């Protein structure tokens, strides 16, 4: 019997992928991974300079977007469909973790609302926009970036961030169930701490805070953006064809640990 070898470098060939927050961090690493696996990539980001450079690096399309704005989000997904003919993958990844989002006793309402808008409202808007095309096609994969803090309580609180990611997780689960029989999969990616510019900025002035978090990671280090990108590419591909509504933890063992190893 002749066995045809698998070519995983073309696992996403012919697919059109939209990535928000694609100019840096996990989003950029995923854009590069998607392109390496054969996908056509559309990067949505608020930063035009880094966004255009990221799109150019993967021979893709850049669309400037404020992910909290409904019209701009709709225009992002319309541009992908109008330019390339479909929307097959949506990686709704844009998010923020500002310093004024801290304990509930010190986090004021404007800080709370800003994080909810960028981290949760944007995912709602992006899912709704992507689904317009995916329902018509009868196929699609949506991956929403949640967090390990959606399933664990954190003693170093970022109250609005945690709440927003819990919302992303619950919404992804419901959409995964609701649209499963229409050929559309929706999953929540739940990263542990990842060595990205966002995390570096968060810990730059407080190395002790970084070490307090690092000690809880059984693997003993923060994740690399490329490790998360590999997980997103899996969820986007047909290799994950029986996975929907999942809490896809990529956390170095944090959520499995009662105590950390020495």
Distance, CA of 218 to chain centre: 23
Determine which one of 124, 133, 161, 258 is catalytic.
161
> Could you tell me if 199 and 222 are in contact, meaning their C-beta atoms sit under 8 angstroms apart?
yes
Q: Is 258 a catalytic site residue?
A: no
Please, are residues 61 and 22 in contact by the beta-carbon 8 Å criterion?
Answer: no
Reduced to 3 states (helix: H, G, I; strand: E, B; else coil), residue 18 is strand
- Count CA atoms closer than 13 A to 136's CA, side-chain side: 9
Nearest to 67 by CA among 98, 92, 50, 34: 92
Q: How far apart, in whole angstroms, are the C-alpha atoms of residue 90 and residue 256?
A: 29
3-state helix, strand, coil in the chain (%, to 5): 50, 15, 35
Cβ atoms of 62 and 43 closer than 8 Å: yes
| Residues 94 and 122: beta-carbon distance below 8 Å | yes
Catalytic residues: 161
């Amino acid at each position: 019997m002749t066995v045809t070898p698998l070519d995983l470098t073309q696992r996403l060939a012919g697919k059109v992928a939209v990535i928000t927050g694609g100019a840096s961090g996990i989003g950029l690493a995923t854009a590069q991974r998607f392109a390496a696996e054969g996908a056509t990539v559309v990067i949505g980001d608020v930063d035009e300079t880094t966004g255009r450079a990221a799109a150019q690096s993967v021979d893709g399309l850049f669309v400037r977007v404020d992910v909290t704005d409904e019209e701009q989000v709709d225009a992002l997904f319309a541009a992908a469909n109008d330019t390339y003919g479909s929307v097959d993958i949506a990686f709704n990844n844009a998010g923020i973790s500002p310093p004024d989002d801290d304990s509930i006793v010190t986090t004021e309402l404007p800080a709370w609302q800003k994080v909810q808008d960028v981290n949760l409202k944007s995912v709602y808007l992006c899912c709704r926009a992507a689904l317009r095309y995916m329902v018509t096609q009868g196929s699609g994969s949506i991956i929403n970036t949640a967090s390990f803090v959606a399933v664990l309580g954190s003693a170093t609180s970022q109250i609005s961030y945690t709440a927003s990611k819990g919302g992303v997780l619950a919404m992804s689960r419901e959409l995964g169930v609701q649209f499963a029989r229409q050929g559309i999969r929706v999953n929540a990616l739940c990263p542990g701490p990842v060595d990205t510019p966002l995390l570096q900025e968060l810990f730059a002035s407080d190395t002790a805070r970084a070490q307090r978090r690092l000690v809880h990671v059984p693997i003993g280090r923060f994740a690399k953006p490329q490790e998360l990108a590999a997980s997103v590419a899996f969820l986007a591909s047909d290799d994950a064809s029986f996975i929907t509504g999942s809490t896809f933890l990529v956390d170095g063992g944090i959520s499995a640990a009662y105590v950390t190893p020495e």
